[in-house]
Structure 1
Amino acid sequence: MSTAQPVDSGLHGLMDYAEVDRTLNRGLGVGSILFMVVAAAAPMSVVAGSMPVLIGVSDSTGMPVYYLMSTLVLILFSVGYVSMSKYVRNAGAFYSYVQAGLGRMVGVGASALAVLAYLALNIGVYAYFGIAGANLVESLTGGAVDLPWWLFSLVCVAVVAVLGYRDITLSSKVLGLVLVAETLIVLVMDFAVIGAGGADGLSLESLSPMHLTDAGAPLGIMFAILGFIGFEATAVFRHEARDPDRTIPRATYLSAAVIGLFYTFSAWAIINGVGGANAVAMAVDDPEGFVLNIGATYLGDGFSLLMQIFLVSSTFACALAFHNVMTRYGFSLARNGILPQRLSQVHAVHKSPSAASVAVSVASLIAMVAVALSGLDPLADVYTPAVGLATLAYIVLMALTSISVVAFFARDASRRETFGVGRSIIAPLLSAVAFVVLTVLVTANIELLVGDLTVGLAVIAATAFAFLIGMTVAVLLRTRRAAVYEGLLDI
């Protein structure tokens, strides 16, 4: 297997995969990657923002079971993903795996989907940060200061741009500090609920498998998957890991398990915090204040304000994590000749993919300025459609990756023997079935996901269009830059 397809790395000249490994910072261990991936999952934002919505949409108290089921599905996905990582040296994550199993055309199509998903998430999270930041300042000043939301968004873009440009270990340290703090805050609330015996006494009813038969269970699982977006990014940091063949698999399994168990436990605690009989009605009536009110009830108004502060820091951590992932997607695509090769430039001092980072920052800045000038509502018109778009693209990518793993191992008996049929065929096949079903489910319920049928249809169209654009790029590469096209399978 060749590993020497050179690409133009800008000011640093030609660079092959081995040279990339030597040039980029190689200081990331399992803990550092875990911090960045879990930070992207934004635990505080999910608990305070997504969980109440999930309860209301599913019309069920089975939220803990839905998170647990989502965790099992993602661990099942990870089995094939990790097995294939032994053979995929490219740090392009989803698209690298898809093209290795399903060919260059589908792979480049998948790369366009990945870019679309993370670009949408970047824009959505910056908009959400603006709202959360403006609300926090208003709460801290008793309403005396009312600053425009977009000011906070632009500040967030600027700070993320600086950190994203620097050494990746700096980002991992910042994310680690924020993650530990926000996780502790949520756990303090969880244990306060447990210590007080909940609203009506502690109950395991919300953990009953029977909730999987509820009418809203499919929607519940669909929304639960939202909380895991970005967990596959362990592979994106392959070239910056100390020992990628050991670090990436461990970080992948740990990410899925840690995120899933934390969500399951917190979901169970907040259901008990308001009582199963009241949970759905309260979540529908006041989704934004649902969890903050639980904090105030069990720990006082001061703690509720503290939760609001960490909701802002959690959103910032999420923005930084997504920026880093998007940067490395761009770097990998540039190194493979799909994007302009100048974006594969590595900073001489920081050992970071600095050119790709600058490009992501500029794109984010332009997008946020455009949103601010348009007068769109940052929550209803930006964040919600952006998350819906990212969710659909992400689930399609998960389905394609699972199918790719099956195809990859099915072609080579020696590979199957290395990992066994269970890990190389059966697990990824079951994962593929699960994500194909989820793709159908998300598409059929797109109006619920984004709040408007017209917007939902636009989201579906944008997802399909991005994939077609990617495949068109592959066709152009094949006809105009044959050497680059052939080199795409240099995994």
Structure 2
Amino acid sequence: MSHEQTLPSTGTAAGNGSNNGLSKRTLGVPALVFMIIAASAPLTVVAGGIPSNFAVTGNVGIPLSFIVLGVCLALFAVGYAAMSSHIRNAGAFYAYIAQGLGRAAGVGAAWAALVSYNAMQIGIYGLFGFASASFVNAKLGLNVPWWLAALVGFVIVGWLGINKVDLSAKIIGVLVGLEFLAVIVFDIVSFAVSPEGVSGAGLAPSNLFTAGVGAALAFSMAAFMGFESAAIYSEEAKDPSRSIARATYIAVGIIALFYAFSGWAMTVGTGPSQIVAKSQEFGPDLPFAFLTSHGAVIVSDIAQLLFITSLLAALIAFHNAVARYVFSLGRENVLPHGFARINTRHAPVAGSLTQSVLALAMLAVFAIAGTGSELGEMYPVLTFFTWLTNTAAFGLVLLLVLISVAAIGYFRKHAAGYSLWTRVVAPALAALTLGTVFVLIVVNFNVLIGSDGFSPLSWILPALAVVPGIAGLLWGLRLKTVRPDIYRGIGFGGAPDTSA
């Protein structure tokens, strides 16, 4: 069957009507790019991720790691973007794997994706609560607990989640623009200071490819989390056959180059010989301390405030992603159909509320568990944030590998009009390179969660993503036997695939 014939079956018959589906033709390429970049949280990566990477790995070549991973993800995007021209489903990964590797595998991927995106979204509340409370307490002399600050963000995110998606996109667009401006100011000041001259040490391959390269790549991979999210909005995009691919390529390019340049600027501004030691000393405060000492306190204060809004933008983006996964699974009856409920604003209200309830429960658990913790004020960062976001990164990379293989499977049946490069070579290279990154994450997971030597968390946390995936696979196989009518619609928007 030619790929043109798949269009009716790969759409979203259950959700295409104006009254029973998500908002149609709402998001253009710029909005999609902003949603993607918001999920990767530029200021969060520059202020938190890059200094942490320097501090933990001791690797001076961190800036180059973003270029290396950008190439890997560009290879991934070849097959992924080509599939997006035909598969328009809010479940994204779920639908792609279902149509490339089989419906049962798609269910497994959906469950793993749900855990991964939830872990990322909920984990960010830990850092958001810490950063917000610290800023307010320092400036106003208060003693606001981290969990109360996190609850404020929770209310904002939950309210936006049940509103039309373009409202979130507009707010995110403003926040991301301000983030870029703050980082650009930091970059300019860094090159202006350059205590050891404008050195290329941060971009030298010999500095990246050392004994610590595995942990360095694993850390940097988390910075790209969310780059694939354009496909989640395929049912709400103005021109999904083109805009999803364009937004994905643009976002990967911007993220890789911007983070590489900013990481290099940080190395130059601090000095290659001092960057590791200073990162270990200041951690996420390094850029703000740098701006304070070389600029003005007001500049640092504004940057810290934008750091907080950067985290809020990421929370909104990941909340929307989870809500749409839940909607997609409910629509196809893989989850109870009630999860497909939308409101008058065409927002996936059931999925949004489900994610909010789960986030609130986890907030309560960590808030209670952290009472009197010996970790003090760093508790939400070193546990809540670190544990959950690294679990999410683990699950994401596993899904990327599966998508790469699924692209090969999909284009075996729908090869017409596509070159060998798109159908086989690029996806195979993506599977190989991302598979290598996945192995490095597994091997270095104890480093990523700040554990010395073996820790039960080194296998418990990854299992949180893997076990649901296996359970989903088994559930999909059960549906094949007991509910073949539902099974035929898996990955096809609930409308049975006419080619099955």
Global fold match (TM > 0.5):
yes
How far is the alpha carbon of 1:112 from its aligned partner?
0.7
The code of the aligned residue for 2:130 comes to: I
How far is the alpha carbon of 1:439 from its aligned partner?
1.5
- TM-score normalised to the size of structure 1? 0.93
| Aligned match of 1:485 | 487
Equivalent of residue 267 in structure 1, options 243, 254, 263? 263
Distance 1:23 1:467 in 2: 27
Distance 1:477 1:373 in 2: 39
| Aligned match of 2:361 | 366
Equivalent of residue 16 in structure 1, options 14, 17, 20? 14
Q: Which runs of 5+ in 2 are unaligned?
A: 1-5, 372-378, 494-500
How far is the alpha carbon of 1:209 from its aligned partner?
2.7
How far is the alpha carbon of 1:24 from its aligned partner?
2.5
Equivalent of residue 352 in structure 2, options 354, 357, 366? 357
| Aligned match of 2:218 | 222
Q: Deviations over 1:316-347 (max 9, x none)?
A: 11111110111111111111111121121222
Report if the CA contact (8 A) 1:98-1:107 is conserved: yes
How far is the alpha carbon of 1:298 from its aligned partner?
2.4
Report if the CA contact (8 A) 1:21-1:239 is conserved: no
Alignment of 1:275-354 (within 5 A): 275-348=271-344, 350-354=345-349
- TM-score normalised to the size of structure 2? 0.92
Report if the CA contact (8 A) 2:15-2:22 is conserved: no
| Aligned match of 2:164 | 167
Distance 1:116 1:250 in 2: 27
Distance 2:350 2:107 in 1: 21
Alignment of 1:229-240 (within 5 A): 229-240=225-236
Instruction: Sort the Cα spacing of 1:6 and 1:311 in 2 relative to 1 into closer, same or farther, 3 A.
Output: closer
| Aligned match of 1:11 | none
- SS for the counterpart of 1:199 is coil
Alignment of 1:138-153 (within 5 A): 138-141=137-140, 144-153=141-150
Distance 1:20 1:201 in 2: 59
The code of the aligned residue for 1:124 comes to: G
User: 1:137 aligned to 2:139?
Assistant: no
Distance 1:70 1:438 in 2: 9
Instruction: Sort the Cα spacing of 1:211 and 1:380 in 2 relative to 1 into closer, same or farther, 3 A.
Output: same
Report if the CA contact (8 A) 1:100-1:408 is conserved: yes
| Aligned match of 1:10 | none
Report if the CA contact (8 A) 1:5-1:490 is conserved: yes
Q: Which runs of 5+ in 1 are unaligned?
A: 8-14
The percent identity for this pair of structures is 32
Alignment of 1:40-59 (within 5 A): 40-59=39-58
User: 1:154 aligned to 2:151?
Assistant: yes
How far is the alpha carbon of 1:110 from its aligned partner?
0.6
How far is the alpha carbon of 1:94 from its aligned partner?
1.2
Report if the CA contact (8 A) 2:108-2:472 is conserved: yes
Q: Deviations over 1:107-164 (max 9, x none)?
A: 11111110000111121011211111110012212xx211111101111111111111
How far is the alpha carbon of 1:2 from its aligned partner?
7.1
| Aligned match of 2:120 | 121
| Aligned match of 2:3 | none
The code of the aligned residue for 1:73 comes to: C
Equivalent of residue 253 in structure 2, options 247, 253, 257? 257
- SS for the counterpart of 2:196 is coil
Report if the CA contact (8 A) 1:99-1:106 is conserved: yes
Report if the CA contact (8 A) 2:186-2:287 is conserved: no
Distance 1:258 1:309 in 2: 23
Distance 1:21 1:77 in 2: 35
Report if the CA contact (8 A) 2:129-2:149 is conserved: yes
Q: Deviations over 1:378-414 (max 9, x none)?
A: 22221111011101111100111111111222x23xx
Q: How many equivalent pairs are there?
A: 477
How far is the alpha carbon of 1:233 from its aligned partner?
0.5
Provide the alpha-carbon RMSD of the alignment: 1.9
How far is the alpha carbon of 1:311 from its aligned partner?
1.0
| Aligned match of 1:466 | 468
The code of the aligned residue for 2:447 comes to: L
The code of the aligned residue for 1:240 comes to: E
